[in-house]
């Protein structure tokens, strides 16, 4: 009987530790997501106002990158993979953004209108933001 009581105590302790770990991870992820959202949301708000995407990213890119780097360790599994994919897409789109004046001059010189990368950038930022929800 004493063995069963001791075994039950061990099982309850293990379950309590597992619940504590799960709650701690949830709290850490929630706190990281709270800090992750504002830089991306602010960037989206500026882009919605029609501000030049290149100028916005020059001001906000460090804040976005910091937010992603702080949020990434809090994620595991599919959410981590989704963030990695969204981050790769953001970096790919970011590389195509050039100053608005340069794009205008290129259009004037070549006569060919280029597509607006701001739409792709907005979509990439929305995907980054969706990971935190």
For residue range 43-85, list pLDDT tens digits in order: 999 999 988 888 899 999 999 999 999 889 888 889 999 999 9
Instruction: Specify the pTM.
Output: 0.73
Taking CA atoms, 124 is separated from 5, 89, 130, in Å, by: 56, 6, 10
Domain that residue 124 falls in: 35-131
Contact criterion met (CB below 8 Å) for 40 and 121: no
In a domain, 29, yes or no: no
Q: Domain total for the chain?
A: 1
Token pair in block for residue 72: 């990434």
The secondary structure of the chain in percent helix, strand, coil, rounded to multiples of 5, reads 85, 0, 15
In a domain, 26, yes or no: no
Ranges 28-37, 59-68, 113-122, most confident: 59-68
pLDDT recorded at residue 101: 63
Within 8 A by CB and 6+ apart from 43, the residues are 56, 57, 60, 64, 125
In a domain, 116, yes or no: yes
In a domain, 70, yes or no: yes
């Amino acid at each position: 009987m004493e063995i069963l009581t001791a075994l039950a105590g061990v099982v309850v302790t293990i379950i309590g530790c597992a619940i504590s770990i799960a709650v701690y991870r949830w709290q850490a992820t929630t706190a990281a997501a709270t800090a992750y959202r504002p830089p991306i949301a602010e960037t989206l708000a500026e882009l919605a106002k029609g501000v030049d995407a290149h100028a916005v990213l020059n001001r906000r890119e460090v804040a976005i990158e910091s937010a992603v780097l702080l949020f990434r360790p809090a994620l595991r599994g599919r959410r981590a993979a989704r963030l990695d994919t969204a981050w790769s897409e953001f970096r790919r789109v970011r590389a195509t953004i050039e100053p608005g004046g340069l794009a205008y001059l290129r259009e004037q010189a070549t006569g060919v209108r280029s597509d607006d990368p701001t739409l792709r950038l907005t979509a990439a930022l929305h995907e980054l933001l969706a990971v935190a929800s």
